[in-house]
Amino acid sequence: MLTANLILLIAHSGWLWVNTASVLGNTSGRAVAIAVTGMLIVACALLLICVFISLLPRILAAVATIWPEVDEPHASTAHPESLALDDDAVLAAIGFVLHHRLQEQSRISNPNATTTT
């Protein structure tokens, strides 16, 4: 049905005129036919995109009943094991720097105190 409608649309859009005009050597007729057909094709392409975009949320809502969309972005779950390792290393480094700084501060505030580490 869709194909039949498309063929009808093309037949009425001026392509036939393009051929007829070129056979007859009618330059201005051919030019107008190309311009009109070109505009129709561009309009047709963007109209179909418009219709598709309008229908897309409904299609996805139907799909979501079978295959629900996960909110978490793919990128963050691509290699979770590497992220975990990196997090541990970063946490250890932060802990070490924090400990070091606190010790220095306590030494400055209480120069007579002895340190155990």
Partner 1 sequence: MDILLEFLKTTGFASLSLGNAMMIVIGIIFIGLAITKDYEPLLLVPIGMGIIVGNIPVIQGMSMSVYDDHRWAMEDGNIKYLPGSVLSYVYMGISYGFYPPLIFLGIGAMTDFSTMLSNPKLTLLGAAAQVGVFLTFLGALYLDFTFQEAGAIGIIGGADGPTAIFLASKLAPDLLGAIAIAAYSYMALVPVIQPPIMRLLTTRDERLIRMKPPRKVSKREKMIFPIAAFLICTMIAPGAIVLLGMLFFGNLLKESLVTERLANTARTAFIDIVTILLGFSVGASTQADTFLRPQSLLIFALGALSFAIATAGGVLFAKFMNLFLTEKINPLVGAAGVSAVPDSARVVQMVGQQEDPHNFLLMHAMAPNVAGVIGSAVAAGVLWAVLT
Residues that bind partner 1 (CB under 8 A): 18, 27-28, 30-32, 34-39, 41-54, 56-57, 60, 63, 69, 73-75, 78
CB nearer to partner 1: give 54 or 115: 54
The two three-digit tokens of residue 40, written as one number: 């129709």
Query: Minimal distance in Å, beta carbon 88 to partner 1?
Result: 24
Shortest approach of partner 1 to residue 83 CB, angstroms?
A: 14
What residue has token string 């009109």? 36
Q: For the CA atoms of 53, 55, 57, 61, what is the dihedral angle to 10 degrees?
A: -150
Of 9 and 92, which CB lies nearer to partner 1 in the complex structure?
A: 9
Nearer to partner 1, 81 or 109 (CB): 81
Look up residue 111 and give its two tokens: 């120069």
Query: Least separation, in Å, of the C-beta of 23 and partner 1?
Result: 15
Phi and psi at 78, nearest 5°, equal -65, -45
CA distances (Å), origin 91, targets 27, 86, 96, 102, 105? 76, 9, 9, 16, 21
Tokens of 82: 């590497």
Smaller CB distance to partner 1: residue 86 or 104? 86
Least distance from partner 1 to the Cβ atom of residue 91, Å:
25
